[in-house]
Structure formats: structure tokens, C-alpha cells
Amino acid sequence: MRSIFLIVCLSLITVQVFALSAHKKRAFLEAVMKECKLEENGSDADYESIMAEKLSETGPGKCMMACGYEVVGLFDQGAFNRGAFLHIARIIVDNDETKLKEAPGIADECGKITGERCQQAYDFSKCLHDYLSMKILKYVALLLMICGVTFVKSDDREEKKKMAKEMMFAMSEDCREQEGATEADLDVLLENKNPTTKSGRCLVACLQEQFGVVDNLKFVPEAFVSVSAMAIKEDEEKMKLVKEVAQECKDVTDVDRCELAMKISDCLRNALKKRNVEF
């Protein structure tokens, strides 16, 4: 049976949390998961893993996730509550309609998962994790094409680069056709270099224009920041640096759209490197 504490937490989360800061929202989550840790006989390691947004692989850890989902109303006796998911998503993104656009798709995809209570919670968490990881990688791939960002060093860095190339190929289809660019041009971008061919340089221009980073031969700092935000995943310190980068490059100009693309790419790449910003 759920404790009175958890019921109170649930009511607070679903009614009052819109008005709370990110710090206080996390405090609510910590309180819920600490109680779930007690209910499910979880360990400190399970708790720390979940709070670090990682998947807990232990039995009690999986049950802690199930407990948490039940507390906030996502699951009731194994049934997924789509409405609760969309409501919680709105809370998480502070009513940002742009960020909410993908929530229904996530709900439809991950909400289909069934199974034993604790395993269902684990599989649901993995679905969310994989979906969001792919979304983030998509925007990293876009940043690779428009300004040559650097991948964070990690054990799966090469695998991420391979996946990023596949995404780059898919996202650039229209621009490749329009500018006559080749896969070789994409390979150059993947190595954080500027294309040497006219078609490759104009490919970057087309992509910058397509995603609003350049408009009417002018760099749009706000658009670059918005794209970067999708790849950074709420890293406030990194976002601060990205905004500095955008301002540093806001006055880059050229009458030739393809040369402008290279100048913007160079400026952004160098400014990011100077601040040690990786994605």
C-alpha cells in the first residue's frame, strides 16, 4: 500500500509543480524515489543510478522505477496512462510547446510496452532513454553539418559518429540534391572540416538556411542557440557558453551564401573550441 507521504507527493507534483524551479522539481523527485527505495528495498546505488538518469539493472532498482511511475500516475496496474505522461511532459519542459511536439509520439511508442511490473518499468525507461538519445544525436548531427562541432570523448564515440553520419545523410537529402553534393562532402563535415568543393560548401549553406541558422545572408544567433539546446540536454553551463558563441559570431557577413556558410562555420567551430564545448 502506498504511504501517505507518496500520496501527498503525487498531489504536489501534479498540482503545484508548474510554479516550481528546476531545483525544487528535482527535490520532489528525490523525495519520491527515496520513499520508493524504502518500499522496494532498493540500494543507495539503485537510487543514485536513477537520479543520474541511468537505468538501474538490479531487481529492486527496476521496482523502484515502477514505484516512481505509479506514484506520478504513469502506470496503474500495468496500464499506461497517456494523459498523465503528456501532463508530466508539459511540467518537465515548462509548457514549451516546441519541446512538447514529440511527446505524443514518444507516448505512442513507449506506452505500448507491457510485461511484469518491474521489467515493464525498466523497458519503458529504456525506451525513453533510447528515444531521447537518438533525438539528441540527431541535433548533434545537424550541428556537425552546420558548424563542425566536436563529439564528447566516450567509449561509444565511434558508434555515435557512425549513427550521426546516417542521420546526416537522411537530413541532408534535399540539400544534397539541390546543391549537387556527395557523400564525400558529408564525410568531410563528419571530420570537423570545411568542404573544399563548391557543392560541399553550398551544402552547408543550404542546411544553415533550412534550419534557420542563416536568413537572408545573416546569421541568426537565436536559431543556433535553439538547435544547440536540443543537443545539450539542459546543461546550463554549456548553454551559457553556446550563447556567448552565438553572440561572438553574430556579425559574420559575406555576399556569397556559400562563403558566408564557411565563415559562420569557422567562427562557430573556433569559438566553441576556445570554450572547450563538445557535444
Quote the cell numbers at residue 182. Answer: 556527395
Residue 172 has phi, psi (to 5 degrees) of -95, 5
Distance CA 265, CA 178 (A): 20
Lookup: cell for 25: 522539481
The three-state secondary structure class of 65 is helix
pLDDT in tens, 185-221: 988 888 888 899 999 999 999 999 998 999 999 999 9
Q: How sure is the predictor about 20, in pLDDT bands with cuts at 50, 70 and 90?
A: very low
- pLDDT digits over 139-165, tens only? 778 888 888 776 555 666 677 777 788
Tens-digit pLDDT profile for residues 122-133? 999 999 888 877
Q: Are 232 and 277 in contact (CB under 8 A)?
A: no
In the three-class reduction of DSSP (H, G, I as helix; E, B as strand; rest coil), residue 41 is classed as coil
Q: Are 201 and 262 in contact (CB under 8 A)?
A: yes
Residues pairing with 219 in the sheet: 214
pLDDT of the residue at 101: 79
Taking a C-beta distance cutoff of 8 angstroms, is the pair 42, 64 a contact? yes
Identify the structural domains of the chain with CATH numbers, from first to last. Answer: 4-135 (1.10.238.20), 144-274 (1.10.238.20)
Nearest of 86, 1, 72, 4 to residue 33 by alpha carbon: 72
